[in-house]
Structure 1
Amino acid sequence: MSDAYVALEGGSVVEARCRAPGTSRGELVFTTAYTGYEESLTDPSYEEQILTFSYPLIGNYGVREERFESDRVHPRAVVARELTDDVAEWLESEGVPAVDRLDTRDLVGQIRDGGAMKCGIAAGPDATPEDATAALADCPGMSDHEDIGAQVSVARTKTYSGDGTTDTEVALLDCGAKGSIVDSLLERGATVHVLPYDTPPGEVADLDPDVLFVSNGPGDPANFESARALVDEFVGEVPLAGICLGQQVIARALGGSTEKMDFGHRGVNQPVRDLRTDRVVMTTQNHGYTVADPGDLDVTQVNVNDDTPEGLESDDLQVLTRQYHPEANPGPNDTLGFFDDVLAMAGEERRTPVAAD
């Protein structure tokens, strides 16, 4: 007898096994990553979403806090073919519902065919299909989360110092930043000021940073209006960098536009081609929106599968952005040199890229 139910926007209800009890709702998405489940589950970009793992076994190398990208689990619920006890107990301790023993191949196929969809989940000994359906009925769309940045950003500025090998100071606008972005800058000696997502221009001016860096984050970039305004204030005066949501915010500030994708890019094997060198690299990605019009920026890299922009640049404006996650946690290390290029914009000599483990 089932003790968990997954209600889908199309009207069907799927039976499952409860691994962590609770009721939740969110946008149902999937990742193709077969490792890095700890990093994925603590990635703030999954806020307000229900994460489905397409790989069948999740948890086969345990749970270690040093791999976390933030201080908590961000998906509203977790779906897998099979979860190990380690992961299930972790999710239960975090209060995040989790279910398994359902056909995730079919579920991923439905998302690919119909796009990311609203979902309700009810799990536990007293759960009913009606509970899951009620949760679904209460589920907002991703664009409805107008202040989602407040859920994932630091409340006040935090400063982290590198090893002193460079005096570059980076103002990192935290729209839901992964911890490994900060680590990648610190490893290159920079001082990193992590700022709340709605930091006013005057406070950034007081810091007088060498680079303004807009982080990744969840939801619709149109809902990060304060970040867009900050970019508009400093473009042409301070070098600008961005990752994922950061690329989208910067493009919007410079006359471009964004759009929602059908089911997004989420995984560790997304191929990206550099239009200048024709070289293809493998990348880690997690986003449901993309740049539709780059505005004043040049598209320098594209996704091999669908030609969506993966890199935007402007030498004149000193702007450098990537849609994927060059910090590579989890994922391949092909693109770590991005952080050297960001520091080079600030007048620093290019440093040796961090070696792969």
Structure 2
Amino acid sequence: MPPAYVALEGGHVIEGRGRSPGTARGELVFTTAYTGYEESLTDPSYEEQILTFSYPLIGNYGVREERFESDRVHPRAVLARELTDEVADWLADEGVPAVDHLDTRDIVTDVRDGGAMQCGIAVGEHATPEDALAELERCIAMSDHTEIGAQVSVAETEIHGADNDGATVALVDCGTKGSIIESLVERDATVHVLAHDAAPADVDAIDADILFVSNGPGDPQNYRAAVSLVQEYVDELPIAGICLGQQIVSLALGGTTEKMAFGHRGVNQPVIDLETGTVVMTTQNHGYTVDDPGPRLEVSQRNVNDDTPEGLDGVDCSVLTRQYHPEANPGPEDTFDFFDDVLAMADAPRTSAALACDD
């Protein structure tokens, strides 16, 4: 196997075993998921990041395309304790550098103690520590990836469930997972997937019943067009959002967001509903969170571990958002009812604030 080097912020270089050649740079993060490596690797929310798997063996049940969340691998590189040959070959085919035979426990501890950090990778027969350090020097902060939405969004509108006769959903694609679209289509919705910088004319053209803002990578403050779109329709259409979508909706309604130390990434994040006291386990992948939801939103759910907002409801408007991924790919399946609640907003009477806006 070729040599491989991982340069961490601060200049420390770790040597591992090369499984897929190349160089890469990005924000180093980790996931605690013990299943769902195919879903994680194809999740657009990992764009411009280097993904470390905390679970020691990645690839023990193969690689199946029907589990993919998008049409490509999104992390810039992959780190693991051990990768199977099938996963390593898949990453090589995708042109994504991969390194294993690493002490991932030590890497995860570093990220937990110091926060998500910049990282450089070099893998190959002639790779050197200096190559990895050179990649590290070229790395930029996630907030500086101002056009990251364009890297993961559709270029032209796509329609899913065209023969359905339920609600018409305008889905703003900031890097949506395929299972979110599937969850809506399975409930008889017709989903128009719009570009991340869609304009009001794009929404008006489809006579949408709901405006839905997807998950995606990067700093929510860089999605100015999506923020403006929510502001345009908040008193005209029901608004929903998942993950980055929750953050964008909050920004649009006067809230604030902040970068987390190391984020939430995994399939074992506990969330409590503040009204019922029920705790559910959730799938999550985000490095930013809502700090203050703003005057028109209230926190309905919180993370049990760190108290960050996990659900927002409209105070005087039809808004429903979740920070976690209720489509639950790869699991657990505790939160599917979110999509039923979102689609029900299309049939519910609009709020008094919205009606007053029409007068």
Aligned to 1:102: 102
CA distance in 1, matches of 2:52, 2:166: 42
What is the match of residue 254 of structure 2?
Answer: 255
Q: Which amino acid aligns with 1:226?
A: A
Q: What's the CA shift string for 1:279-326, capped at 9, x where partnerless? A: 000000000000000002000000000000000001531000000000
C-alpha displacement of 1:162: 6.0
- Residue deviations 1:208-253, cap 9 Å, x none? 2000000000000000000000000000100000000000000000
C-alpha separation in 2, matches of 1:161 and 1:15: 48
> What displacement does 1:161 show?
1.3
Which letter maps to 1:262? Answer: A
Residues of 2 paired with 1:71 and 1:77: CA distance? 17
Letter in 2 for 1:43: D
Considering only aligned residues, what root-mean-square deviation do their CA atoms show, in Å? 1.2
Which residue matches 1:183? 182
**SS in structure 2 opposite 1:264?**
strand
Matched with 2:330 is 330
Give the aligned partner of residue 233 of structure 1: 232
Measured against aligned partners, the alpha-carbon deviations of 1:41-62 in whole angstroms (never above 9, x if no partner) come to 0000000000000000000000
Contact 2:76–2:96 (CA under 8 A) maintained in structure 1: yes
| Other-structure match for 1:15 | 15
2:173 alignment counterpart: 174
Separation of aligned partners in 1, 2:250 and 2:4: 42
Q: 2:2–2:124: 8 Å Cα contact kept in structure 1?
A: no
In structure 2, C-alpha distance between the alignment counterparts of 1:50 and 1:282, rounded to whole Å: 25
| Deviation string, structure 1 residues 170-228 (Cα, Å, up to 9, x no partner) | 00000000000000000001000000000111121121200000000000000000000
Write the mapping of 1:96-175 to structure 2, written as runs, cut at 5 A: 96-161=96-161, 164=164, 166-175=165-174
Distance in 2 separating the partners of 1:222 and 1:214: 14
8 Å CA contact retained: 1:115, 1:262 = yes
TM-score by length of 1: 0.96
Letter in 1 for 2:73: V
Letter in 2 for 1:11: G
Within 1, Cα distance between the matches of 2:348 and 2:298? 23
Q: Are the counterparts in 1 of residues 2 and 19 from structure 2 also a CA contact under 8 Å?
A: no
Runs of 4 or more off by more than 4 Å in structure 1? none
CA distance in structure 2 between the partners assigned to 1:177 and 1:338 by the alignment: 16
SS for the counterpart of 1:338 is helix
Deviation track 1:303-353 (CA, whole Å, cap 9, x = no partner) reads: 00000000000153100000000000011000000000000000079xxxx
Q: CA offset at residue 10 of structure 1?
A: 2.1
Contact 1:4 1:124 in 2 (8 A): yes
Q: 2:157, 2:21 → 1: CA distance?
A: 35
Determine the structure 2 residue equivalent to 1:352.
none
Alignment partner, residue 6 of structure 1: 6
1:195 aligns with 2:186: no
For residues 34 and 261 of structure 1, what CA distance do their matches in structure 2 show? 22
The answer (yes or no) to whether the contact 1:270–1:282 under 8 Å persists in 2 is yes
The one-letter amino acid paired with 1:78 is: V
Structure 1 counterpart of 2:175, which letter?
Answer: G
Matches of 2:348 and 2:153, distance apart in 1: 28
TM, length-normalised to structure 2: 0.95
% identity of equivalent residues: 73
Query: Which residue does the alignment assign to 1:276?
Result: 275
Distance in 1 of aligned mates of 2:11 and 2:331: 35
For residues 2 and 179 of structure 1, the distance between their equivalents in structure 2, rounded to whole angstroms, comes to: 35
Give the Cα separation in 2 of the matches to 1:96 and 1:103: 20
User: Which residue pairs with 1:219 in the alignment?
Assistant: 218
- Specify the alignment match of 1:353 in structure 2: none
Is residue 2–residue 15 contact of structure 1 (8 Å, CA) maintained in 2?
no
Cα-to-partner distance string for 1:70-95 (whole Å, 9 max, x where unaligned): 00000000000000000000000000
> Counterpart of 1:170 in structure 2: which amino acid?
V
| CA distance, structure 2, for counterparts of residue 199 and residue 307 of structure 1 | 33
- Whether the 8 Å CA contact 1:162–1:189 is kept in 2: the answer is no
After TM superposition, the structure 1 = structure 2 runs for residues 301-320 of structure 1, keeping only pairs within 5 Å, are 301-314=301-314, 316-320=316-320
